Structure 1
Amino acid sequence: MKAMVISAFGGPEVFSKREVDKPTPGKNELLVKVCATSVNPADIGVRQGFFGRAIALPAILGYDVSGVVEAVGADVQDFQVGDEVFYPIEIFAGAGGNAQYHVAHESIVAKKPANLSHQEAASVPVAGGTAWAALIDKADIRLGETVLIHGGAGGVGSFAVQIAKAAGAYVYATCGGYDIKLVKSIGADRAIDYRNENYIDIIQQETGGKGVDVSFSTVMGKVLTDSLQVTKNDGRAVTVTGVEGDLNFAIRKNISVHFVHLDNPRPKMEALRMVIERGQIKPVVGMILPLEQVAQAHQKLQQGGEGIYGKLVLEV
């Protein structure tokens, strides 16, 4: 089968197109014909060598899959040949989805939302699952609460805005000024241009100094720790990135801080399928490129800025 492979860590130029062995499903595994995958920040980190020897080279990246079951291994219970499925891949689990075929354990796989194309569905697993884990599983947002989401136009952020809105929250979201219209269109009640507006001053003023119940950071830097200033006493703060700055605000205000990594994905995929099929959430696909242009996709996501929003999908 054809795959886009890296044999060294470095820049986007390390990708090469290769012919590799087609995998065979083992016990409780599915062989999936990959229709589409997508690019996440984790792909960039792996490609750059951030995880070091934990990633064996040569490696096939790509941690989202939407495709069709082509074969099933022994003892598979819930899937059959021809099923359309989608799922995320753990970055340390071996080969990823930047290939024509992928083998996955059935425990991570879910049926694809019927109202999505494979290109749309491939944008959901990692980003949507992470947003769900952060806001529903960890922050436990509730009807009528107020939520601040940083990076509302990004992959995780665009799902987070919609999940928070579907859960009945009032949503503040930061983004670049060029993405204000987009972020409002997916459910943000108040979109804040982080380059030209001070979200701390705005939230303090608009909430009468009370702040938000939940703050969620999807971007690097001191965003998590700065957001503690506008997170209520006994509130919750969640991040999917590292921590910079002073966490003492969390202690003084009795804020629960949660660090989120997507695990146990199947229940999240099934929940997302339900709300997607109901029309409560729709993936934001900013760009679709052929798999052979994975290097260009990495470069675009890494540069970011105007014109790069939602998820960047690769068609296999």
Structure 2
Amino acid sequence: MQQSGGVREVSESRAVLLESFGGPERLAVHNVPARHPGPGQIRIKVTAAGLNPMDWFMTSDAATAARFGLTLPSGFGTDYAGFVDQLGDGATGFQRGDRVYGAALSRALADYVIVDTHGDITTGVAHHTPEGVDDRTAATLAIAGSTAAAALAVLELGPDDTVLMGGAGGGVGVFAVQLARIAGASVIGTGSPATAGYLASLGAEPVAYGSGLADRIRALGVPITAALDLHGTDTVRVARELGVPDARICTIAAVVEGVPAANGANAGAEALQNIARLVAAGRLRVPIAATFDLEHVRAAVELQAGRHVRGKVVVDL
């Protein structure tokens, strides 16, 4: 590392890479050459990276990776937060030192990431981090927040709604429950008995998932007007059994004929920035379940992939 004209120069960057697709055991930290941003790009010094189920799903096998355009050696992780380190020619909207957060598909777990100033998740996207939002929290927002916002836009919830939310305790559920409550809707969230207190703390009325779910919901005496399945298709089946029309059911992890599906790509940048502003204002909180340093990335991914985490898992860099 050396200083040149006041600009911090680095020759190497740590990056998590997979040399073959598979589980967390395939992840390894490598030293790679530090790239510089091209025209219209910025380089970001990553300080924290949040994990999502899509991270390990995309890299679980070669066929799945190919669907997302990933080739070997592949990076890992998508959500990040940090600050602008370098600007390429013609890059606008950012200055060196600006705090930013965003997404860079399967390459966020690295000391430095390069994104387009007007990019998307594939080329990388950056947003200014509001004052009052720390980097660990900012690193959890992009994928889960966008996905939750896109799903709720489909459902168009309001004060007259009671929404059944399956998998409400997961990473997307953290945002979806609170955004639904902010919209004025009541939320019935499914989860294991052990997650009841956690779901209640987010603003949901907890109900145990599994056999007999429809009967347990009927016993509450509250008509269900909408449903969001954050895990698979079980909530779709129960919602239909309870008389919820397909147009007011949404999935994010499965395709069901007649039922709308949503993902983070459907959400506009303003929706994500609104979530960041809600966090900054203290109206939406993101529980951080665990943090790891980069050298322990395998343990972090194993914890997150277990699907029993209450909140988000973040890797510090």
TM range (shorter): 0.7 to 0.9
Once structures 1 and 2 are overlaid, which stretch shifts more, 43-52 or 63-72? 43-52
Q: What is the 5 A alignment of 1:1-316?
A: 1-49=13-61, 51-53=64-66, 54-91=69-106, 96-107=107-118, 108-135=125-152, 137-188=153-204, 190-195=205-210, 198-207=212-221, 211-233=223-245, 235-243=247-255, 257-263=259-265, 265-305=268-308, 308-316=309-317
Distance of 2:38 and 2:129 partners within structure 1 = 22
SS in 2 for 1:48: coil
Distance of 1:269 and 1:233 partners within structure 2 = 28
Go from structure 1 to structure 2 and tell me whether the alpha carbon gap of 1:221 and 1:310 turns closer, same or farther (over 3 Å shift): same
Go from structure 1 to structure 2 and tell me whether the alpha carbon gap of 1:232 and 1:223 turns closer, same or farther (over 3 Å shift): closer
Once structures 1 and 2 are overlaid, which stretch shifts more, 167-176 or 290-299? 290-299
Indicate conservation of the 8 Å contact 1:33/1:102, yes or no: yes
Indicate conservation of the 8 Å contact 2:250/2:261, yes or no: yes
Indicate conservation of the 8 Å contact 2:170/2:307, yes or no: no
Distance of 1:111 and 1:228 partners within structure 2 = 41
Indicate conservation of the 8 Å contact 1:215/1:231, yes or no: no
Q: Superposition RMSD on alpha carbons, in Å?
A: 2.0
Distance of 1:236 and 1:294 partners within structure 2 = 39
Shift of 1:132: 0.8
- 2:3 aligned residue: none
| Percent identity of paired positions between Structure 1 and Structure 2 | 26
Distance of 1:12 and 1:278 partners within structure 2 = 36
User: Structure 1: where are the runs of 5+ without partners?
Assistant: 251-256
Shift of 1:207: 4.1
Give the number of aligned pairs.
295
Indicate conservation of the 8 Å contact 1:162/1:281, yes or no: yes
User: Structure 2: where are the runs of 5+ without partners?
Assistant: 1-12, 119-124
Distance of 2:64 and 2:145 partners within structure 1 = 23
Q: Moved runs in structure 1, 4+ residues, more than 6 A?
A: none
SS in 2 for 1:293: helix
Distance of 2:243 and 2:280 partners within structure 1 = 33
Indicate conservation of the 8 Å contact 1:3/1:99, yes or no: yes
SS in 2 for 1:74: coil
TM score, norm. by length of structure 1: 0.87
Distance of 1:27 and 1:141 partners within structure 2 = 42
Shift of 1:231: 4.9
